[in-house]
Amino acid sequence: MDLRFFRRKKDSHTLYTEALEALLQGDSDSAFEKLRKLIQEDTENVRAYLKLGDIFRERRQVAQAIKIHRSLTFRQKLSTAMKVDIYASLAIDYRESGRFDRAEESANRILKFDRKNRWALDFLIEICEQQQRWETASKNLRRLEKASRKTDHRRRAYYNLMQGRERDEDGLQKEARGFYQKAISEDDSYADPHLYMGNLEEGDGNLDGAVTHWKAFAERSSGTGKQVYGRLEKALFELGRFGEIELFYRTLREQDGKNLDALAGLVNVLAAKGEYDNAIAMVDDILGRNGQSVRIRLARLKLELRKRKEKELSGQVDEIVLILGGGR
Does residue 225 or residue 17 have the better pLDDT?
225
**Predicted pLDDT of residue 180:** 98
Q: What mean pLDDT comes out for the span 261-267? A: 82
Could you tell me the CATH superfamily of domain 152-241? Tetratricopeptide repeat domain (1.25.40.10)
> Does residue 67 surpass a pLDDT of 60?
yes
Q: How many CB atoms are located within 10 Å of the residue 308 CB?
A: 11
Q: How many CB atoms are located within 10 Å of the residue 126 CB?
A: 15
- pLDDT tier, 6 (very low <50, low <70, confident <90, very high otherwise): very low
Q: Answer yes or no: are the C-beta atoms of 279 and 314 closer than 8 Å.
A: no
Where do the DSSP E strands lie in 73-227? none
> Does residue 58 surpass a pLDDT of 80?
yes
> Does residue 326 surpass a pLDDT of 70?
no
Burial of 252 (0-12, 13-18, 19+ CB in 10 A): buried
Hey, what's the torsion of the CAs at 198, 199, 200, 202, to 10 degrees? 90
**Predicted pLDDT of residue 315:** 57
**Predicted pLDDT of residue 321:** 61
Return the biggest CA–CA distance within the chain. Answer: 106
Whether the model clears a pTM of 0.75, i.e. scores above it, the answer is: yes
In angstroms, the CA 327 to CA 260 distance is: 10
Q: Kindly report which listed range (61-70, 124-133, 139-148, 289-298) carries the lowest average pLDDT score.
A: 289-298
How far CA 216 is from CA of 152, 160, 188, 194, 212, in Å, comes to 21, 18, 9, 6, 6
**Predicted pLDDT of residue 28:** 74
Q: How many CB atoms are located within 10 Å of the residue 118 CB?
A: 12
Across all residues in the chain, what is the average pLDDT? 85
> Does residue 61 surpass a pLDDT of 50?
yes
Q: Kindly report which listed range (40-54, 61-75, 134-148, 191-205) carries the lowest average pLDDT score.
A: 40-54
pLDDT digits (tens, 9 = 90+) for 134-193: 999 999 999 999 999 999 999 999 999 999 999 999 999 999 999 999 999 999 999 999
**Predicted pLDDT of residue 162:** 98
**Predicted pLDDT of residue 3:** 45
Q: Among residues 202, 287, 185, which one has the least CA distance to residue 238?
A: 202
In angstroms, the CA 216 to CA 204 distance is: 19
Which sequence spans correspond to the domains of the chain? 152-241
- pLDDT tier, 9 (very low <50, low <70, confident <90, very high otherwise): very low
Q: What mean pLDDT comes out for the span 40-69? A: 90
> Does residue 328 surpass a pLDDT of 50?
no
**Predicted pLDDT of residue 239:** 93
Q: Answer yes or no: are the C-beta atoms of 51 and 19 closer than 8 Å.
A: yes
Q: Among residues 187, 167, 185, which one has the least CA distance to residue 176?
A: 167
In angstroms, the CA 51 to CA 30 distance is: 13
Which phi and psi angles does 132 have, rounded to 5°?
55, 40
The dihedral sign for the CA sequence 308, 314, 317, 321: positive
Q: Answer yes or no: are the C-beta atoms of 95 and 103 closer than 8 Å.
A: yes
Q: Kindly report which listed range (55-59, 61-65, 140-144, 179-183) carries the lowest average pLDDT score.
A: 55-59
pLDDT digits (tens, 9 = 90+) for 266-313: 888 887 777 778 778 877 777 766 656 677 677 777 777 766 665 555
